[in-house]
Amino acid sequence: MTERLRFQVEKFLTGPNGTKRARAARLELRATSPDVQWLPIETPAFMPVGTSGSVKALTTDEVSSLGAKIILGNTYHLYLRPGHERIEKLGGLHRFMNWKGAILTDSGGFQVFSLSNLNKVDDQGVTFQSHIDGSTHRFTPELSMEIQRSLGSQMVMAFDECPPYPATREQVSRAMKRTRDWAERGLRVELKPHQARFGIFQGGLYEDLRVESAQQITELPFDGFAIGGLSIGESPDMMQKMAAYSAPLLPFDKPRYLMGVGRPEDLVEGVRAGIDIFDCVMPTRNARNKQLFTSFGKINIKNTTYSDDTKPLDPNCQCETCKNYSRAYLRHLFISGEVLSARLNTLHNLSFYAELMRQMRRAILENRFDDWAKSFYTQYHAKSFEK
Amino acid sequence: MTERLRFQVEKFLTGPNGTKRARAARLELRATSPDVQWLPIETPAFMPVGTSGSVKALTTDEVSSLGAKIILGNTYHLYLRPGHERIEKLGGLHRFMNWKGAILTDSGGFQVFSLSNLNKVDDQGVTFQSHIDGSTHRFTPELSMEIQRSLGSQMVMAFDECPPYPATREQVSRAMKRTRDWAERGLRVELKPHQARFGIFQGGLYEDLRVESAQQITELPFDGFAIGGLSIGESPDMMQKMAAYSAPLLPFDKPRYLMGVGRPEDLVEGVRAGIDIFDCVMPTRNARNKQLFTSFGKINIKNTTYSDDTKPLDPNCQCETCKNYSRAYLRHLFISGEVLSARLNTLHNLSFYAELMRQMRRAILENRFDDWAKSFYTQYHAKSFEK
């Protein structure tokens, strides 16, 4: 069998009782082009979300210029439009969207539950109605694999059932059982030789169920593992606590992925707990909705404070937005509904996230993560930005 | 008095009776930065429209990479939002929007008539209600100059009255008279030393009124002249005919500007008639509304024909959109309402317009404009694109 993924922990930090915590690693995924064999990704890493075959508002050249080596594509969206078979016929998702890095595709499960109407789950799969035109569709673990095979992503996620929050112990238990059955069914579907597989475990906010689910999933032959079922409505504190509890339940020598997380603080705490990769729509979606992240905290660019402010958005940032435009201009673009607003804001927010990950990696490698985190929080919460 | 504009006709073609027609020229405008003295513009040239301080969907670096040396800013929009005084305080429009080339600002007159509600014109000026919040404002020839002075554009347009289409001879006559009075009043307002002034003449579709208005305006000390009152609802044929009639009414040794025009065919016929510069929202607006211009004619990218089409939009085009993306992908982005759709489409359309102007200039310099135009039309109208 072809080797589909390489993962090497370069450095890890230990907690008070010798527990292994934050780590810097090198993840390598198979290239789809014949020119290169492996696509290296330095972790901890954040994956920008490219829902429908586009990291919203940016070209792939720009995404790449931010240092992103891997992006996320959504199986649910691409299945509905333009269709996975079409994308495969057009040469796969990489070629379709002109992306030369790696791609992770989710399983479609989460979107089926959260975006579609009238979904009905049974032990065999999920029937749902498209959020686009109301048409009826059905996802099974097998179809999810087939779609992801057509898309040709490097990282294929298992089709899981994510119970809602809040959920009873019984609901979480049942979803866990299905998640394990579906993981096994998905593993029986052959993928392309370059595609690595990630398992997802559940367990909600029940520690003992987390232990059980992690055990069930990690004994299956996956190349990496993801913590599912978090960041779905619980408090940030509960999320961070359960992520920190969950990370060590996963094998040390395989990549760990915390799905759908999160705010800058959540990334810091996730990394501290030993998570390697993250994804979230927050930097891109919030950019289009006036919220920008800076080293001095998050700001609302619509605020009149910025009307006459000639300073760059974040004087500590090296992105094209901060190098070329003033806060006053960014405010004007947002207020005027200019397309450029979405672009410049997205570029900045993703740049901020990328720099945050780079800083954390450096701090781990230099054995000063806790100090770094402390000074990050001090500045991020200082609210000194407006002055 | 400082020299504010240089204009040198490099080559002109003659018509059957020795009339001077299409010309290639070099226009130079004063730079606002201390580093450069003059901003050279090779004509014929098309000016992308940057209504509210942004050529919609593009960064100024991209606009510049298309070869554009001058863009248009709208006085009406910038006066209402963010305000000309604010822009002046922030260092002028160039600095506000990070544009290193030249800027032409219109007078605001046309937008006051077409966009605002309940406008009321009298001999002193125009009272109107903002299309943004309904607030009441009044433009006079003097205020239009003051706003343009604050914005700091290189080319300042006179405040004129553009009669609607259709209009009676009396309406056109009255607007002509006001246009002349207002031109004189505007000339009495001092501008910044780098700002050149353009006069606008009217006359609707009445040839004798065009002659009279051109005479009235060209005897005033403007640095260049514009043909106003066209492309406002009359047929393309009528527009082209009146533009061709009007161009020779303007001095040979000053730049001629045909306002608000137009389609690729209109640019070809305008250049043929001896026009030097053009502006129009068509390439940018239509890009956001699924219409793309190619050397094989214009196409609707939403058409299902393109669903599985892996070819570049226009195989003859060298723009980033055509180099990197397929028709199938562009269709998908449009259908999915992705922000990137507006970007890639705008980039292509403006690139097509820029290349069209470059080709015309070359054809004039090489004394083969008519042949070039014939072959352009043959290909543009062949409808061979779909095959």
Q: What is the spatial distance between Cα A151 and Cα A141, in angstroms, rounded to a whole number? A: 16
Predicted confidence at residue B385, as pLDDT, reads 54
**Partners of residue B324 in chain A, C-beta under 8 Å:** 59-61, 98
CB contact under 8 A, B320 and A98: no
Predicted confidence at residue A185, as pLDDT, reads 98
**Partners of residue B303 in chain A, C-beta under 8 Å:** none
Q: Searching chain A, which residue's CA lies closest to the CA of residue B310?
A: A90
Q: Mapping DSSP to helix (H, G, I), strand (E, B) and coil, where does residue A215 land? A: helix
**Partners of residue A90 in chain B, C-beta under 8 Å:** 308, 310, 326, 328-329
**Among candidates A248, A186, A178, which has minimal Cα distance to A221?**
A186
**Partners of residue B307 in chain A, C-beta under 8 Å:** 82, 86
Order of strands across the sheet with A45-47? Answer: A45-47, A277-279, A256-258, A224-227, A196-201, A155-157, A102-105, A70-73
Chain-centre distance for alpha carbon A159: 16
CB contact under 8 A, A339 and B342: yes
Predicted confidence at residue B32, as pLDDT, reads 87
Question: Looking at CA atoms only, how far is residue A84 from chain B in angstroms?
Answer: 12
**Partners of residue A96 in chain B, C-beta under 8 Å:** 326, 328-329, 332
The tokens describing B215, both together, are 């005479």
Query: What is the helix (H) or strand (E) element at residue B169, kind and residue range?
Result: helix B169-187
Candidate from A135-149, A315-329, B104-118 with smallest mean pLDDT: B104-118
**Stretch B173-186: mean pLDDT:** 98
Give B253-267 pLDDT, tens digit per residue: 999 999 999 999 999
Give B30-58 pLDDT, tens digit per residue: 998 777 799 999 999 999 999 999 999 99
Among partner residues A56, A307, A336, which is closest to B338 by beta-carbon distance?
A56
Give A367-386 pLDDT, tens digit per residue: 999 999 999 999 999 866 54
List the catalytic residue out of A61, A279, A309, A370.
Answer: A279
Q: Searching chain A, which residue's CA lies closest to the CA of residue B85?
A: A308
Q: What is the spatial distance between Cα B272 and Cα B274, in angstroms, rounded to a whole number? A: 6
CB contact under 8 A, A328 and B86: yes
Question: B382: pLDDT confidence band, cut at 50, 70 and 90?
Answer: confident
Q: What is the spatial distance between Cα A220 and Cα B237, in angstroms, rounded to a whole number? A: 72
**Partners of residue A343 in chain B, C-beta under 8 Å:** 57, 59, 339, 343
Question: B387: pLDDT confidence band, cut at 50, 70 and 90?
Answer: very low
Predicted confidence at residue B290, as pLDDT, reads 97
**Stretch A319-333: mean pLDDT:** 98
To test the contact with chain A by mutation, choose from B85, B321, B327, B329 the residue with the greatest count of A C-beta atoms within 10 A, namely: B329
CB contact under 8 A, B57 and A335: no
Residue A208 known to be catalytic: no
The position carrying tokens 């083969």 is B368
Whether pLDDT at A318 is above 50: yes
**Partners of residue B131 in chain A, C-beta under 8 Å:** none
Chain B residues in contact with chain A using a Cβ-Cβ cutoff of 8 Å: 52-54, 56-61, 81-82, 86, 89-91, 96-98, 288, 307-308, 310, 320, 324-326, 328-329, 331-333, 335-336, 338-340, 342-344
CB contact under 8 A, B54 and A340: yes
pTM above 0.90, yes or no: yes
Active site residues of B: 106, 279
Give B287-338 pLDDT, tens digit per residue: 999 999 999 999 999 999 999 999 999 999 999 999 999 999 999 999 999 9
CA distances, B84 to each of B93, B96, B112 (Å): 9, 11, 16
Average pLDDT value for chain B: 96
CB contact under 8 A, A336 and B52: yes
Q: What is the spatial distance between Cα A86 and Cα B310, in angstroms, rounded to a whole number? A: 11
Q: Searching chain B, which residue's CA lies closest to the CA of residue A347?
A: B59
Q: What is the spatial distance between Cα A315 and Cα B13, in angstroms, rounded to a whole number? A: 54
Q: What is the spatial distance between Cα B382 and Cα B374, in angstroms, rounded to a whole number? A: 12
**Partners of residue A340 in chain B, C-beta under 8 Å:** 54, 56-59
Among partner residues B81, B335, B339, which is closest to A56 by beta-carbon distance?
B339
Question: Looking at CA atoms only, how far is residue B190 from chain A in angstroms?
Answer: 26
* Side-chain half-sphere CA neighbours of A139 within 13 A: 32
Q: What is the spatial distance between Cα A40 and Cα A352, in angstroms, rounded to a whole number? A: 21
Question: A387: pLDDT confidence band, cut at 50, 70 and 90?
Answer: very low
**Among candidates B166, B165, B163, which has minimal Cα distance to B179?**
B163
CB contact under 8 A, B339 and A342: yes
Computed over its alpha carbons, how large is the radius of gyration of chain A?
20
- The strand pairing partners of A157, in sequence order, are A198
Average pLDDT value for chain A: 96
CB contact under 8 A, A90 and B58: no
CB contact under 8 A, B52 and A98: no
Q: Searching chain B, which residue's CA lies closest to the CA of residue A51?
A: B338
CB contact under 8 A, B57 and A320: no
What percent of chain B has pLDDT above 90?
93
**Partners of residue A74 in chain B, C-beta under 8 Å:** none
Q: Mapping DSSP to helix (H, G, I), strand (E, B) and coil, where does residue B1 land? A: coil
**Stretch A281-292: mean pLDDT:** 98
Q: What is the spatial distance between Cα B223 and Cα A363, in angstroms, rounded to a whole number? A: 61
Q: What ipTM did this prediction achieve?
A: 0.96
Give A47-92 pLDDT, tens digit per residue: 999 999 999 999 999 999 999 999 999 999 999 999 999 999 999 9
Predicted confidence at residue B117, as pLDDT, reads 75
- Kindly give the pairing relationship between strand B155-157 and strand B102-105: parallel
Query: What is the helix (H) or strand (E) element at residue A23, kind and residue range?
Result: strand A20-30
Whether pLDDT at A34 is above 90: no
CB contact under 8 A, B340 and A308: no
To test the contact with chain B by mutation, choose from A52, A332, A335, A341 the residue with the greatest count of B C-beta atoms within 10 A, namely: A332
A&B contacts, CB < 8 Å: 112
Residue B74 contacts residue B56 (beta carbons within 8 Å): no
